[in-house]
């Protein structure tokens, strides 16, 4: 997180009539750029107390998000469904999977049909999805929406934010150690 990653950040909560809400299943038709998101470099500041938001081309800080104001990351149900479909398909196609032989004979589509018709109808879209929306819930009812451009970045940020929130009280000690070893 200290190095930073490129994420799409939502600019405002205002939805104009010309802009559609972002749908990760239709990202090829309406990419995040056309739905009010912009690609930004987001990184943990060296003093470990805030996230810095920088423009992807310019190297100046556009804004900051204080770690003390972050309550938790929020993953929408659609993103959870995409992850479940992709994980289930990977587990079924992986010869080293721990899946039981009895479930290997059942097709993935049949298993997903039990979850609802929406998932089974868009099965190929769920598999091909590469954008993962999530939010950071802030104090006083605020929220910042992000879209990870791939699964690796999504996983790193969700795990990183959860770890930062879990170990808040140890950040001062880590800051001191980082400063000592970097000098």
Question: pLDDT digit string (tens) for 107-166?
Answer: 555 555 555 555 556 677 888 888 999 999 999 888 999 999 999 999 999 998 998 888
Residue with tokens 């990183």: 160
Q: What local confidence, expressed as pLDDT, does residue 103 receive? A: 46
Q: Which of 6-15, 86-95, 101-110 has the highest mean pLDDT?
A: 6-15
Question: pLDDT digit string (tens) for 2-59?
Answer: 678 889 898 865 555 456 678 888 788 888 888 888 899 999 887 778 888 988 777 7
How many CA atoms lie less than 13 Å away from 63 in the CB half-sphere? 6
Collapse the DSSP code of 20 into the 3-class scheme (helix H, G, I; strand E, B; otherwise coil) and give the result: coil
CB 148 within 8 A of CB 76: no
* φ, ψ at 155 (rounded to 5°): -65, -45
Chosen CATH of 5-76+130-182 out of 1.10.10.10, 2.30.29.30, 3.40.50.300, 3.40.190.10: 2.30.29.30
Distances (CA, A) of 141 to 72, 121, 136: 12, 35, 11
Domain boundaries, the chain: 5-76+130-182, 78-128
How many CA atoms lie less than 13 Å away from 153 in the CB half-sphere? 20
Q: Let me know if 125 is exposed, middle or buried by CB neighbors in 10 A (0-12, 13-18, 19+).
A: middle
Question: pLDDT digit string (tens) for 117-129?
Answer: 555 566 778 888 8
Q: What local confidence, expressed as pLDDT, does residue 131 receive? A: 92
Q: pTM, whole model, 2 decimals? A: 0.76
């Amino acid at each position: 997180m200290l190095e930073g990653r490129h994420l799409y950040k939502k600019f405002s909560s205002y939805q104009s009539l010309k802009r559609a809400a972002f749908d990760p299943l239709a990202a090829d038709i309406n990419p995040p750029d056309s739905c009010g998101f912009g690609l930004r470099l987001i990184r943990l500041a060296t003093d470990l107390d805030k996230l810095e938001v920088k423009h992807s081309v310019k190297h100046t800080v556009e804004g900051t998000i204080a770690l003390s104001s972050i309550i938790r990351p929020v993953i929408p149900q659609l993103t959870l469904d995409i992850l479940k479909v992709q994980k289930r398909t990977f587990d079924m196609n992986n010869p080293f999977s721990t899946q039981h032989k009895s479930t290997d004979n059942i097709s993935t589509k049949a298993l997903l049909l039990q979850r609802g018709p929406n998932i089974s109808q868009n099965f190929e879209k769920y598999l091909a999805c590469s954008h993962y929306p999530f939010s950071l819930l802030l104090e006083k009812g605020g929220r910042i929406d992000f879209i990870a451009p791939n699964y690796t970045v999504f996983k790193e940020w969700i795990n990183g934010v959860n770890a930062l929130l879990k170990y808040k009280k140890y950040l001062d000690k880590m800051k001191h150690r980082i400063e000592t070893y970097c000098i």
